[in-house]
Amino acid sequence: MSYTVAVDSGGTFSDCVAISDAGVVTKAKSPSTPPDFERGVLNAVGEVAERLGFSLRELLEQTTIFAHGTTVATNILINHDGAKTALLTTRGHEDAILIGRTVQKVAGLSEEEIIDVARLRKATPLVPRTRIHGVDERVDRAGQVVVPLDIERLDDLRDRLRDAGVEAIAISLLWSFLNPEHEQQLRDWAENGANGDGPFVTISSDLVPVMREYERTSTTVLNAYLTPAVRRYLGKMRDELRGAGHTGAVAIMHSAGGVSSVEEASRRGVSLLSSGPAGGMLGTRALAERLGLDPVLATDVGGTSFDVGLVVDGDPSYAEMPVYAQYPVALPTIDVPSVGAGGGSIGWVEPETGILRVGPQSAGARPGPACYGVGGTLPTVTDANVVLGRINPDSFLGGRMKLDADAAYTAIQTHISDQLGMTVEAAAAAMIDIVDAQMADLIRRVTVERGLDPSAFAVFGYGGAAGLHVDSYSSKLDCPEIVIPRVASVFSAFGIASSDVKRIEMVSEPMLAPFDLSRWRVHFERLERKLREGLESEGLPTSGLELRCYVDFQFRGQVHTVRTPVYEEDLDAGDGGEGVIERFAELYEAKYGSGTAYRKAGVEAMTFSVEGKATLPMPALDWIEDESPDPDAALLERRPVHLGDGSAAEEIPIYKAELLRPGHELVGPLVVEAEDTNVLVRAGHRLWIDGLLNMRIDLGGNQG
Amino acid sequence: MSSAVKSGLRLDPQTFEILRHRLWYINDEGALTISRVSGSPVATEVFDMNAGLMTGEGDLVYIDNFICAQATTLASLVKHLRAEQAENPGFEPGDVFLCNDPYISVCHQTCVQVAGPIFHGDDLVGWTGASLHAIDTGGPTAGQVQLDAADIHGEQPLFGPVKVVEKGSFRRDVESTYLKNSRLPDLLALDLRAKVAAVDVIRRRMGDAFDEFGVETVLAGMADIIDYAETLLRARLREMPDGTWRHRGYIEFGDKVYDCHVTMIKEGERLTFDFGDTAEQAPATINCTVHGLRGGVLAAVLVYLCWDIPWSPAAISRVVDVKSRPGTVVHAAWPAGVSKSTTTGIWEVRNLASITIGKMLAASERHRSRAMAGWQGVKALEELFGKDDDGRPFGGPLLDGMAGGSGAMPGRDGIDTGGHTSSLRATIANVESYEYRYPILYLYRRQTQDSGGPGKFRGGAGVSMMYTAHGVENIDTKILHTFGVEQPESPGLCGGLPSCTNSFVILRDSDVRERFGSGRMPAELGEIEGDLEIFGAYANTSMTSDDVYRVVSMGGGGYGDPIERDPALVADDYERMLVSVEWAERVYGVVLGEDGIVDEAATAARREAIRAERRAAAAAPLVPGHGEDRGEWDAEADGVRLGEALFYDVSGAAPVYRSRAGYVLGPATHAWHELAAIARFPVQRIGPEVNANHVNGERFELRELYCPSSFTLLGAEIARKEDPILFDAELSLDALASTGAVA
């Protein structure tokens, strides 16, 4: 037997799945162990091994691919304990990253945060001004050298960098994507004589050769700041794996929605920042493909946040400009917008007006919902679900954690219902209404802003709190169908296990239509060559490289580009790119509405990219044939649950998820209790179990 | 039901809460649509635009947090349409109206607005509108600034309100008439489409909301949002002390100086702004109409008081009164021109309203941590027009000057290059984006040293930059426009000083190209040889590839006496290149040794010397014979706060002003200014970037008002030399009496 093993190491838990070559999935969770995360990772693998009847070594010896997603980069950013970093940039532009285009003070903030003007701040500098060094040099918009770089003059700078004890150097010069020579010379100079144990050096024309110096420099600085610690962690992780008997490949999840080798990830720490959410998206993609569903909304409902991603035509979408800790990152990143709404969101009554509100404050895991009995006294969404009978306080987390229903009741009574003059149940129902609406609003925004209709999407719901809300927000949006994956609680790890190896090479060269297609070909060929060489050097056991070429276009003067696919025949068309421009205009109108494409303004090509995907050997999941349609064996009890506005409870059936089998069909209202989540199916909605043991809910038919 | 009784709302609390968010998102999606569809950098990169959602009567339920006044003026447009065009041409589903007439609604002629009715079936149930700053709508001079206009007839042509989209179809006749005056008709067409797309998106989403919630519920929600925001704002005002605050600002234009005044009275739940004392209007360019005036006041109220209140202009209008006199700079009478009102008249209105609210907040024990000194007093801007080396025309604004500093507050410094309050999401474009768009090459763009207003907490630094023409021999037209070149316009608060001034210079026929060739990127004008040409607030000029242009744009005002600033913070400022060694000593009294380490002893001595200098420079109080040193007291516990270091002592028979140190200035029946020691200085005392080139000589001065005993700086003002001291802050004596009774 051989296995693919994947671990998603998060702030609280390390989740592990092992998939056998027969397609059988085994999962486990183990607490994370900061700051030595590698221990928690191995513990989680050990748990899975135990469930399979192996020792850790026995499992790892049979593991062909170990795939890993890690929050190590995110943690460094949160704790602000990255490498001591210096930035070398074009003289006169030292402040670009501090000015942050002014908008840095509101970047990534919510509406509520933005209007609280007196509390706005810029990002905490990752490189203090004293370690930002301007270098005499200049390239212009044509890529021509205006001020030559004279390396001989930099001796003084070398001393200053050494005296400051710099551990990482970011190099980002103006227009370097058109002419990288100065950056390359500076890199060689910075690395010269260091014999490999000098500072880590990263240059923008290598990492992110795209136009717009603030975003490019921010990305490069983040990479310098994060990579040394990422590299140390990954090195340690790999050594531990090797020591524990793993001889197969190690692959690391990155933000663009694929994996790369440890070596590659150890040069691009910045690309690990969205490793976790990307895992969930890839799990959705893989499972949706297997189930034949497209397009799909991936919704992750946790304790503090609600995350939404899209899979359209088999691919997750990229974010326009992801922001971390108020810094933009100009690398392709799976788009997973988020709002502060989850099980821990706190309900409150605005004193001046008597309006009921939910969030954005969250009780998180500590002090937690009132019903957890670990210090929280404020009413949360989880408390409301307990009051409404949707969570059984005795069987939460498989009965391992007893909830205090009285505390939940008292919290809502004290803080909400008494003040509003309504019953506790009505107040709880109102809280759920509000939070469900917030979730639906985010989905609506995410879809309609991209010109998409939410009612066309199947909805995947995962994360601990999804089951009780997914039916409601999906129904509000007229979505046809819901999938609650069998592996919902470790879905990110599952996604990492099913990932491809992915690389993206790109370069900006702004040009105006009509285009010289031979110039395009030069770019694509160069990018493809770079991509193939990079992939080969990764040494992962891949097959079937699939390449796709894109040009980011905009109408002249705009900054919002649309990524448009380009095919071989386009380059031979001899039409100055007219065919591709037509394709761009169609995509543009699909996104922004018909009639919005205004060709007379002129069309500009900004960035060329080649995306390469190669598959890792990955077993297909085992599909179980339907058994009996009768779910009675899974029925736990019937108990009263509030389903409406909190005025009356209905006696409804409660099922045990672990006993539901393929072929079972049930009609709501009902609740399913699983080890790690509860699922509420509303009246008339049909629940069925598929061959992978996923829970499926049809929202279309109103048979009930 | 008790919640409904308390809130007085039509909807139940959870439906209201749900709709409140939904309608915000709908309007926000509309605003963002403008930036996505427009081809203009002012929309796509700097977000000089906005959208609004209105009731059927044209009351603004929501505006987005882009440029405030662009959206607040939409209400005026809809009210005009309802009054004048309801019958002819009438309102149909799918209609969109276009307007750029500032006497009807817009801020100035280049902020072109559209508005369209929202129908449900045959019923007109609401309105929505969008506004965007267009780069060129015609007129004698390219762009927005009509420098030589004698009145509005010499500025851009006026359009509308006119129906430009009829039942969902563009009227080609109207559109082509509108576009033909522009030098950049393609861009203007794209801008128009962007705004129409925004209106369409909002209408579509409102239709969805009607389907989901029912039209009555949505309309009740719109009315409730206004009521709700009003309730919250009234509650906020009740938390503030009653009193009267004033401010005076100046707009330099040509040879003249236009003084602008506001008196703000806060009484109970009402706030009144009176601009009546403002100077007579200019012939053109710098005035604003009453629509812009109201928009400027609303923007200040939103930013300074509505930190957790929905941005609903109709609600604010119910609580805030704005008084003005027609025929003045801030309330122009036809046919005065207003082509650059947004960065003159309206901007000044916002400055005045903002700082008076800031002064009120500074007197609020509960909310003083949010008392912001003036943000960037005005931005230094320019527009470029010409032909590139392929003969292709280029043109548009260069908006780096928006990266102003924010005002300092009790407890924290302003945000360096944090922008301005006109638009919280304002963004400056990348240097590469500008170099791609215009034939220029930047020598630098940086946070300006010694530009933030000095104070116990420092105002945010402003931005400066230097560039030369590149890739062309000439840039034919270069319009420079601002004010605050002679006098700093970002006011400090409670003894904090203003920021630097704006400045435009060009070094003509320089040797910059030779410097480049020798491998040097000059870091300042001093490193280049050439002939310095100095500009005032407005200029129409040109430049060549041997000229180097330098511009400085204001930072934010400081808070509190600069010599009370923690020396460690000054050392940190020095490390961050935001304060020089020289000015650390001159203005903060902090002596930095080698490597920027604070010399404690020298600092203490220097600060004593500054107090002695103040004492020597100061004249006796205007009303002498009152001062008395009653020794130390616990001002925060026993006094009633007026500012950082100035309180009322209400323990005696009649309230008196008393400084934090304990000195009694005199009875509260006087303005405290009459009881303070006053010194007058050249404005250059504030910093090296304050009218460094002495443009127009010395028309303004800095006045510092001190505690006559400790010589702590209690207040500072910038004034024309002949103008009287402004009595800018007093609490209501009635309110004080009741406070005293409680005490």
Which CATH number goes with the domain that contains A221? 3.40.1360
B45 contacts A354? CB cut-off 8 A: no
B355 or A394, which is more confident: B355
**Best of A114, A117, A182 to mutate (most B CBs within 10 Å, chain B):** A117
In angstroms, rounded to a whole number, what is the distance separating the alpha carbons of residues A396 and A466?
A: 15
What residues contact A526, with CB distance under 8 A and at least 6 apart? A507
The predicted pLDDT at position B738 comes to 72
B403 contacts A102? CB cut-off 8 A: yes
Q: Which range among A65-69, B47-51, B73-77 shows the weakest confidence by mean pLDDT?
A: B47-51
Q: Is A317 domain-assigned?
A: no
**Best of A87, A355, A508 to mutate (most B CBs within 10 Å, chain B):** A355
In angstroms, rounded to a whole number, what is the distance separating the alpha carbons of residues B614 and B706?
A: 8
The predicted pLDDT at position A368 comes to 86
Determine the residue of chain B that is closest to A150 in CA distance. Answer: B519
Do B7 and B115 share a structural domain? Answer: yes
**Is B604 within 8 Å of chain A by CB?**
no
Do B622 and B525 share a structural domain? Answer: no
Q: Is B370 domain-assigned?
A: no
B372 contacts A118? CB cut-off 8 A: yes
A-chain CB neighbours of B212 within 8 Å are 476
A358 contacts B575? CB cut-off 8 A: no
The predicted pLDDT at position A466 comes to 92
Interface subset of B 436-475, CB within 8 angstroms of A = 436-437, 441-447, 463, 466, 470-471
Interface subset of B 300-329, CB within 8 angstroms of A = 302-304, 306-308, 311
ipTM confidence score: 0.94
Do B155 and B19 share a structural domain? Answer: yes
Determine the residue of chain A that is closest to B361 in CA distance. Answer: A118
B22: exposed, middle or buried (Cβ count in 10 Å: 0-12, 13-18, 19+): buried
Q: Where are the alpha helices (DSSP H) in B344-424?
A: 345-362
Interface subset of B 469-508, CB within 8 angstroms of A = 470-471
A-chain CB neighbours of B207 within 8 Å are none
A119 contacts B186? CB cut-off 8 A: no
B-chain CB neighbours of A117 within 8 Å are 303-304, 307, 372, 421, 424
In angstroms, rounded to a whole number, what is the distance separating the alpha carbons of residues B167 and A622?
A: 57
What's the CA angle centered on B560, arms B559 and B561, to 5 degrees?
130
What residues contact A565, with CB distance under 8 A and at least 6 apart? A548, A549, A550, A583
- Closest-CA distance of chain A to residue B415, Å: 6
B369 contacts A421? CB cut-off 8 A: no
Selecting from B9, B32, B40 the residue whose C-beta is nearest the C-beta of A557 gives B40
Do B528 and B631 share a structural domain? Answer: no
Q: Give the three-class secondary structure for B349.
A: helix
The predicted pLDDT at position B445 comes to 98
CA atoms in the 13 A half-sphere facing the CB of B225? 27
B-chain CB neighbours of A148 within 8 Å are 519
B6 contacts A354? CB cut-off 8 A: yes
The CA distances from residue A502 to A64, A223, A233, A489, A505, in Å, are: 19, 19, 22, 25, 10
**Best of B6, B14, B514 to mutate (most A CBs within 10 Å, chain A):** B14
A-chain CB neighbours of B418 within 8 Å are 102, 105, 120, 122
In 3D, which of B558, B24, B35, B416 has the Cα closest to residue A105?
Answer: B416
CB atoms within 10 A of CB A146: 18
A93 contacts B442? CB cut-off 8 A: yes
Interface size A-B, in CB pairs within 8 Å, comes to 261
Q: Is A34 domain-assigned?
A: no
Q: How many domains does chain A have?
A: 2
pLDDT mean across residues, chain B? 93
A114 contacts B3? CB cut-off 8 A: no
Q: Is B209 domain-assigned?
A: yes
Q: Is B274 domain-assigned?
A: no
User: Model confidence over B666-723: pLDDT tens digits?
Assistant: 999 999 999 999 999 999 999 999 999 999 999 999 999 999 999 999 999 999 999 9
Q: Which of the listed residues A564, A583, A615 is the one where a domain comes to its end?
A: A615
Q: Give the three-class secondary structure for B18.
A: helix
Selecting from B13, B205, B427 the residue whose C-beta is nearest the C-beta of A355 gives B13
Do B663 and B519 share a structural domain? Answer: no
**Is B238 within 8 Å of chain A by CB?**
no
**Is B197 within 8 Å of chain A by CB?**
yes
Q: Is B479 domain-assigned?
A: yes
Determine the residue of chain A that is closest to B43 in CA distance. Answer: A558
The predicted pLDDT at position B550 comes to 98
Q: Which of the listed residues B233, B263, B290 is the one where a domain comes to its end?
A: B233
Selecting from B21, B308, B425 the residue whose C-beta is nearest the C-beta of A103 gives B425
- Closest-CA distance of chain B to residue A634, Å: 36
In angstroms, rounded to a whole number, what is the distance separating the alpha carbons of residues B121 and B207?
A: 10
Determine the residue of chain A that is closest to B520 in CA distance. Answer: A136
Domain that holds residue B144: 2-233
Q: Which of the listed residues B532, B561, B590 is the one where a domain comes to its end?
A: B561
Sole residue written with tokens 């576009």: B179
- pLDDT at B664 exceeding the cut of 70: yes
* Token reading at B700: 């303004």
CATH number for the domain spanning A526: value is: 3.30.1490
- Closest-CA distance of chain B to residue A534, Å: 29
Q: What is the DSSP string of B170-214?
A: E-HHHHHHHHHT-S-HHHHHHHHHHHHHHHHHHHHHHHHHHHHH-
A-chain CB neighbours of B417 within 8 Å are 95, 98-100, 102
Q: Is B381 domain-assigned?
A: no
The predicted pLDDT at position A258 comes to 93
Do B174 and B72 share a structural domain? Answer: yes
Do B551 and B673 share a structural domain? Answer: no
Q: Is B309 domain-assigned?
A: no
Do B198 and B87 share a structural domain? Answer: yes
- Closest-CA distance of chain B to residue A282, Å: 28
- Alpha carbon of residue B541 to chain centroid: 26
Do B525 and B655 share a structural domain? Answer: no
Q: Is B354 domain-assigned?
A: no
The predicted pLDDT at position B742 comes to 38
Interface subset of B 38-67, CB within 8 angstroms of A = 38-41, 44-45, 65
Do B538 and B445 share a structural domain? Answer: yes
Q: Is A201 domain-assigned?
A: yes
Interface subset of B 93-132, CB within 8 angstroms of A = none
Do B51 and B192 share a structural domain? Answer: yes
* pTM of the full structure: 0.94
B520 contacts A592? CB cut-off 8 A: no
The predicted pLDDT at position A170 comes to 98
Q: Which of the listed residues A577, A598, A615 is the one where a domain comes to its end?
A: A615
A685 or B392, which is more confident: A685
Q: Is the backbone of residue A595 left (phi > 0), alpha (psi -120 to 50) or beta?
A: left
Mean pLDDT of all residues in B240-246: 97
Residue length of chain A = 704
The predicted pLDDT at position B434 comes to 93
A-chain CB neighbours of B427 within 8 Å are 101-103
Q: Is A155 domain-assigned?
A: yes
In angstroms, rounded to a whole number, what is the distance separating the alpha carbons of residues A377 and A412?
A: 9
The predicted pLDDT at position A463 comes to 84
A-chain CB neighbours of B18 within 8 Å are 433-434, 437
- pLDDT at B741 exceeding the cut of 50: no
**Is B370 within 8 Å of chain A by CB?**
yes
Q: Where are the beta strands (DSSP E) in B423-495?
A: 440-447, 463-469, 474-481
- Closest-CA distance of chain A to residue B306, Å: 7
For chain A, residues with pLDDT lower than 50 are 701-704
Selecting from A150, A212, A349 the residue whose C-beta is nearest the C-beta of B433 gives A212
Q: Which of the listed residues B204, B233, B262 is the one where a domain comes to its end?
A: B233
- pLDDT at B740 exceeding the cut of 50: no
Domain that holds residue A523: 501-615
- Residue B2: pLDDT band (50, 70, 90) is very low
Pairing between β-strand A85-90 and β-strand A132-135 as defined by DSSP bridges:
parallel
User: Model confidence over B111-145: pLDDT tens digits?
Assistant: 999 999 999 999 999 999 999 999 889 998 888 88
Q: How many domains does chain B have?
A: 3
Do B658 and B724 share a structural domain? Answer: yes
- pLDDT at B183 exceeding the cut of 90: no
Q: Is B210 domain-assigned?
A: yes
A-chain CB neighbours of B303 within 8 Å are 117
B-chain CB neighbours of A211 within 8 Å are 430, 432-433, 436
High-pLDDT (> 90) share of chain B, %: 84
Determine the residue of chain A that is closest to B444 in CA distance. Answer: A92
* Token reading at B633: 């007291």
Q: What is the DSSP string of A19-57?
A: EETT--EEEEEEE--TT-HHHHHHHHHHHHHHHHT--HH
- Closest-CA distance of chain A to residue B498, Å: 18
A-chain CB neighbours of B428 within 8 Å are 99, 101-103
